[in-house]
A and B are shown apart, each in its own frame.
Chain A
Amino acid sequence: MSYTVTIEPLGASFDVAEGQTLLDGALRHGIYLPHACCHGLCGTCKVRVVDGEVNHGDASPFALMDLERDEGHCLACCATPEGDVVIEADIDEEPDQRPIPLRDFSGRVAALQDLTPTIKGVTIALDGDGLDFQAGQYVNLGWPGLAQPRAFSLANAPADGRLVELNIRRVPGGEATGYIHERLQVGDPVTVSGPLGRFFVRKSDPQPILFMAGGSGLSSPRSMILDLLHTDGDTRPITLVYGARNRAELYYHEDFVELAARHPNFRYLPALSEPTADCAWDGATGFVHDAAWTLFDGDFRGHKAYLCGPPPMIESGIRTLMKGRLFERDIHTEKFLSAADAAQQSRSPLFKNL
């Protein structure tokens, strides 16, 4: 048995299991709610229930007083939903986020392309009028016989939503990605639910943009960069630092080289972490964060940074940016987390989103 929790003013929804607290559910779905003691005593995580019923659990009568209970407040750290609920939390609304309702689509595989030895490009033609989304968001992809749909970032610009592109890395031993790499055929029917996620460009912020991507984490930045340069004709300085293991794993390389040649405000820096002699590589070597550090001479002030890739790459990126004096308000990340990664995280309330 699970219930749907909707968080206003974000409009974000997620499911929680019976007995799971609102806070636990939100954090596990990447939505930060302020919190501190986590056992109902301090009141940091107070939210208002706009619709539905919750069980207050062990909320202290001092941290959540009767008058507040009467007004519909609860403590997210110990409140469990008794049905579907809508809560209002004191979190920042993003002026640049477009509220796009989640929709389910059917479609067919239109093209398959081996982008690298481990990353497959999957193009899907959607039925109907197509998917409206913001560059940086992701979809849940399913097909007949797959029990649980899998999340993949959209790699194309949102201009035409009827064809969507996904860059899918093969996870060793992964059931779904193994299927995609070995058995998926052009013409196969698939289902797509989207758009999902809160990773998008804060376009109203005028600062120059730095994208840092690793591996198949290139998909979101690619969508965002194409959207900025082609759709918006944005003229602010935009930098992409992209890291791959070796030359064979570096994909869309020629496209970005060409894009940089055509747009003087766009700078592209690829870096290989394990180049071999076969790579014939004379570009930057090392990790993305080190390449970015060198390129910016250790000073990232006055930028907006968007990071996309596996958790260790994101963590190194955050540390490097902070060392170069760029902080949480200007750093946005999309982590590729497996369920195991999310469960292991033990974080303090020091950072809200990082």
Chain B
Amino acid sequence: MNTQDTRRPSGKKLSLKEKYAQMTRGLGWDTTYEPMDKVFDQLGLEGIKIHDWDKWEDPFRLTMDAYWKYQAEKERKLYAVLDAFQQNNGHLNISDARYVNTLKLFFTGITPAEYNAHRLFSMLGRQFPGPGAAIACQMQAVDELRHVQTQIHCISQYNKYFNGLHDHTVMNDRLWYLSVPKSFFEDAISSGPFEQIIAISFALEYLLTNLVFMPFMSGAAYNGDMATVTFGFSSQSDEARHMTLGLECIKFVLEQDPGNAAIIQRYLDKWFWRGYKVLGLVSMMLDYMLPKKVMSWKEAWDIYFVQNGGSLFNDLSRYGLRMPKYWEQSVAEAEHLSHQTWNAFYNFSGAAAFHVWLPSDEDMAWLAEKYPNTFDQHYRPRIEHYRKLQAEGKRYYNPSLPMLCQTCQTPLIFTEMDDPTRTSHRQLEHDGDTYHFCSDGCRDIFAGQPDKYVSAWLPAHQILQGNCVEPGAEAAGDPGADALRYFHVVAGQDNLDYEGSPDEANWLRWKGLDKMPPAAAA
């Protein structure tokens, strides 16, 4: 018997890394017609110093033809599932029509953000002179575009049956609460290239992405939404590259120059807080909007940020970095965040493109169990009060417009963490004007770049200034009605309570729940 080792007939086989290096050698070159710093003109603006782009190790080693092959199969698989979902009336298999309201929030808030991410990475790919970084950004730009498309296909499926999904792009531009995720991405896309990649690839894709995807996808699975589970899995299979890009980038930048660490820390402080503020919407989805619950916001924050994020920052501390500023506050607030966010939407559901409802007794028992320190004490009495008012036909709507935070654009709906009866409100004077903030974190971010944030487009201010009137339409004179029309929210159909909505009536009819129980046959 031949016992020779035939696995390496020529003695040595090239490793995957060596093969890739051979194939891609010489792809990056220095320009000669134009000086390099003119071609890559944004690189020096942030103070980040890069001495040697060759030290960037391409962690992906993915060729374009392999990329297309993989992505094509993902597409085939996804659309097969979506077709089956459609043909089998998959929308009837979800746990309850209330569930679709989480999708409305996701599709109007996150889907357009994915498109902005596509734009961002297209621009980033142009800005980095290293071919490894440039190609990673280019592939991610294509990924993000694919995510938008798959989500739009899901929207068109749900839009046939449920209200509030008919105009996600306009809503993202105009709806007041969607300015929170929108401003996050526009803040990122208008930053320098290194800040962009730290904001999106590191803070969002690595540190916080599990908080959007894991609870949301599990929530979809628990609630019978196979279409969303499938596009979620399809998107998340691209996340490997996206997360790796974030990790590779931060190591590369930190190792290039000792002066870079202070700048990176500033970016981490800022983008952790910016991202955390966007996640307030996720906390409400988890605790108040899934008919079948997966985990509480507090549990999700503990696993995905405190534990996973903690071990990451422990490793980063070797580079002299520390946990992001105010992270302790995010942990303390986990006891309150979802309850206060939900309360705001209950108050302002007249101006939202999705429905709200009061938690049932069963829901409240779950909330009390998950939030033993706060729910019964602070939040149950308020819900019971709302319930009493509703029973008396006096459903409470807040008639005012909320003050918005100049940085994150969230209404000032949160309280001081050591006193849940006092609104958290910070102010800062700048150039003779007073600016208002929801938190110390947002005030600090403003103070770092005041000229950027003074130009924020704040929906509440714009409504009061008369700037939220549908172009071409005649102003009704009632700012509330004008604003709804401007948002493309159909009053009485997309907004208000789930109870009594057309969504509810349709659902009951489809499921045969609207008929009286058949009388016993005589």
- Count how many chain B residues have C-beta atoms less than 8 Å from C-beta atoms of the other chain: 37
Q: Contact check: which of A37, A323, A347 meets B320 at CB < 8 Å?
A: A323
Judge whether B237 and A9 touch: CB under 8 Å: no
Cross-interface CB contact of B318 among A9, A67, A318, cutoff 8 Å: A318
Query: A60-B233, A90-B17 are known contacts. Are A37 and B240 too (CB-CB below 8 A)?
Result: yes
Which of A40-48, A109-117, A187-195 has 4 or more CB atoms under 8 Å from chain B?
A40-48
B340: chain A residues at CB < 8 Å are none
Known: A325-B258, A350-B247. A42 touches B318 (CB 8 A): no
* Complex contacts, A91 vs chain B, CB 8 Å: 15
Nearest chain B CB to A319's CB is how many angstroms away? 5
B305-349, CB < 8 A from A: 307-308, 311-312, 314-320
Q: Which residues of A contact B318 (CB under 8 A)?
A: 318-319, 322, 354
Cα distance, A323 to B254, chains bound together (Å)? 11
Of residues 32 through 84 on chain A, the ones whose CB sits less than 8 Å from some CB of chain B are 34, 36-37, 41-44, 50, 60-63, 65-67
Q: Which residues from chain B contact A204 at a C-beta distance below 8 Å?
A: none
Question: Which A residues are in CB contact (< 8 Å) with B210?
Answer: 37
Indicate if the CB atoms of A62 and B233 lie closer than 8 Å.
yes
> Do residues B251 and A62 form an inter-chain contact, with CB atoms below 8 A?
no
Query: What's the least CB distance linking A181 to chain B, in Å?
Result: 35
A327: Cβ under 8 A from any B Cβ: yes
- A61 near B244: Cβ-Cβ < 8 Å: no
Partner of A60, one of B236, B247, B319: B236
Q: Is the CB of A63 within 8 A of B240?
A: yes
Whether the pair B251, A43 counts as a contact (CB closer than 8 A) is: no
Interface residue? A93 (CB, 8 A): yes
Contact between A9 and B13, CB atoms less than 8 A apart:
yes
Cβ contacts under 8 Å, B258 to chain A: 325
A350 touches which one: B13, B69, B316, B320 (CB < 8 A)? Answer: B316
B residues 4-45 touching A (CB-CB < 8 Å)? 7, 13, 15-17
* Contact call B77/A61, Cβ cutoff below 8 A: yes
- The reply to whether A90 and B316 contact each other, CB–CB distance below 8 Å, is no
Is there an interface contact between A347 and B311, defined as CB atoms closer than 8 Å? yes
Chain B nearest CB from A243 CB (Å) reads 20
Closest residue on chain B to residue A63 by CB atoms: B237
Would you call B239 an interface residue if the criterion is a C-beta within 8 Å of the partner chain's C-beta atoms? yes
For A351, what are the chain B residues with a Cβ–Cβ distance below 8 Å?
A: 315
B73 contacts partner chain A, Cβ-Cβ < 8 Å: yes
The residue from A42, A67, A90, A346 contacting B236, defined by CB atoms under 8 A apart? A42
Complex interface bits, B273-303 against A, C-beta within 8 A gives 1, otherwise 0 = 0000000000000000000000000000000
Kindly list chain B residues whose C-beta atoms are within 8 Å of the C-beta of A338. Answer: none
Q: Are A9 and B15 neighbours in the complex by a CB distance under 8 Å?
A: yes
How far is the CB of A63 from the nearest CB of chain B, in Å? Answer: 4
- Whether the pair B244, A36 counts as a contact (CB closer than 8 A) is yes
Q: Which of B354-392 contact A (CB under 8 A)?
A: none
Looking at the assembled complex, report how far the CB atom of A155 sits from the nearest CB atom of chain B, in whole angstroms.
29
Complex alpha-carbon distance, A66 and B61, angstroms: 21
Residues of B within 8 A of A43 (CB): 237, 240
* Assembly CA distance A37 to B308 (angstroms): 10
Q: How far is the CA of A13 from the CA of B317 in the complex (A)?
A: 33
Residue of B nearest to A68 (CB): B70
B255 at the interface (CB under 8 A from A): yes
Q: Is A348 in the interface zone, CB < 8 Å from B?
A: yes
**Are B234 and A62 closer than 8 Å at their CB atoms?**
yes
Check A62/B236 contact, CB under 8 A, given A92-B17, A347-B315.
yes
CB pair B240–A44 under 8 Å, yes or no, is: yes
Asked whether, in the complex, the Cβ of A348 is within 8 Å of the Cβ of B240, the reply is: no
B74 at interface, CB cutoff 8 A: yes
Q: A44 touching B244 by the CB < 8 A rule?
A: yes
Task: Let me know if A62 and B312 touch, CB within 8 A.
Answer: no
The yes or no answer to A264 lying at the interface (CB within 8 A) is no
* A336-B477 Cα distance, complex, nearest whole Å: 76
**A41-B236, A62-B234 are known contacts. Are A348 and B312 too (CB-CB below 8 A)?**
yes
- Whether A62 and B315, one on each chain, are in contact in the complex, defined by CB atoms closer than 8 angstroms, is no
What is the CA–CA distance of A20 and B243 in the complex, to the nearest angstrom? 25
Are A92 and B15 interface neighbours, CB within 8 A? Answer: yes
Q: Which residues of B contact A61 (CB under 8 A)?
A: 77, 233
- Does more than half of chain B's interface fall in helix, strand or loop, or is it mixed? helix
Neighbouring A residues of B311 by C-beta, 8 Å: 346-348
B246-265: which residues lie under 8 A (CB-CB) from chain A?
Answer: 247, 251, 255, 258
Say if the beta carbon of A349 comes within 8 Å of chain B.
Answer: yes
Question: Which residues of the partner chain A approach B16 to less than 8 Å between Cβ atoms?
Answer: 90
Question: In the bound complex, what is the Cα–Cα distance between A349 and B307 (angstroms)?
Answer: 13
Name the CB-closest residue of B to A321.
B318
C-alpha spacing A2/B320, complex, angstroms:
42
Question: Which residues of chain B come closer than 8 Å to A67, judged between CB atoms?
Answer: 69, 73
User: In the complex the two chains form, is B239's CB within 8 Å of A42's CB?
Assistant: yes
Q: How far is the CA of A37 from the CA of B244 in the complex (A)?
A: 11
A63 to B17, CA, bound (A): 21
Chain A residues with CB below 8 A from B59, complex form: 34
Residues in A with CB closer than 8 Å to B239 are 36-37, 41-42
A contact residues around B317 at 8 Å (CB)? 319
In this complex, what residue of B is CB-closest to A43?
Answer: B240
Taken residue by residue from 137 to 161, chain A's Cβ proximity to chain B (1 for < 8 Å, 0 otherwise) reads as 0000000000000000000000000
List of B residues within 8 angstroms of A50 by Cβ: 7
Residue interface mask B55-98, A partner, CB < 8 A = 1: 00001010000000110011001100000000000000000000
A42 touches B240 (CB 8 A): yes
Set of chain B residues within 8 Å of A318, measured between Cβ atoms: 318
- Within the complex, the shortest CB–CB distance from B6 to chain A, in Å, comes to 12
User: CA A318 – CA B319 in complex, angstroms?
Assistant: 10
- The residues in B between 211 and 255 inclusive whose CB is less than 8 angstroms from any CB of A are 233-234, 236-237, 239-240, 243-244, 247, 251, 255
Cα A322 to Cα B69 with chains together (Å): 40
The smallest beta-carbon distance between B72 and chain A, in angstroms, is 10
Q: Which residues in A have their C-beta under 8 angstroms from that of B73? A: 65-67
User: Among residues 1 to 35 in chain A, which have CB atoms less than 8 Å away from a CB atom of chain B?
Assistant: 8-9, 34
Given contacts A9-B13, A323-B320, A348-B311, contact A65 B70 (CB under 8 A): yes
A350:B251 contact, CB within 8 angstroms = yes
CB distance from B246 to the nearest CB of A (A): 10
A63 touching B236, Cβ below 8 Å: yes
Q: Which residues of B contact A354 (CB under 8 A)?
A: 318
The residue among A36, A66, A354 with the most chain B CB atoms within 10 A of its own CB is A36
Interface string of A306-334 (1 = CB under 8 A from B): 00000000000011001101011000000
Report the minimum CB–CB distance from A350 to chain B (whole Å). 4
Q: Would you give the shortest CB distance from B281 to chain A, in whole angstroms?
A: 22
* Cβ-closest chain A residue relative to B57: A329
Instruction: Report which of A60, A93, A327 forms a contact with B255, defined as CB distance below 8 A.
Output: A327
Given A319-B318, A346-B311, A348-B312, A93 and B236 contact (CB-CB distance below 8 Å): no
Closest beta carbon of chain A to B93's beta carbon, Å: 20
Cα distance, A319 to B316, chains bound together (Å): 10
Residues of chain B within 8 A (CB-CB) of A350 are 247, 251, 312, 315-316
- Contact partners of A34 in chain B: CB under 8 A: 59, 244
**Chain A residues near B (Cβ < 8 Å):** 8-9, 34, 36-37, 41-44, 50, 60-63, 65-67, 90-93, 318-319, 322-323, 325, 327-328, 346-351, 354
- Going nearest first, the 3 A-B pairs with the smallest beta carbon separation are A42-B240, A348-B312, A62-B237
Additional A-B contact list (14), CB under 8 Å, known A319-B318, A349-B247: A9-B15, A36-B243, A42-B239, A42-B240, A44-B243, A61-B233, A62-B77, A63-B240, A90-B15, A322-B319, A323-B320, A327-B251, A348-B315, A350-B312
7 contacts between A and B (CB under 8 A): A9-B15, A37-B243, A41-B237, A322-B319, A323-B320, A328-B251, A349-B247
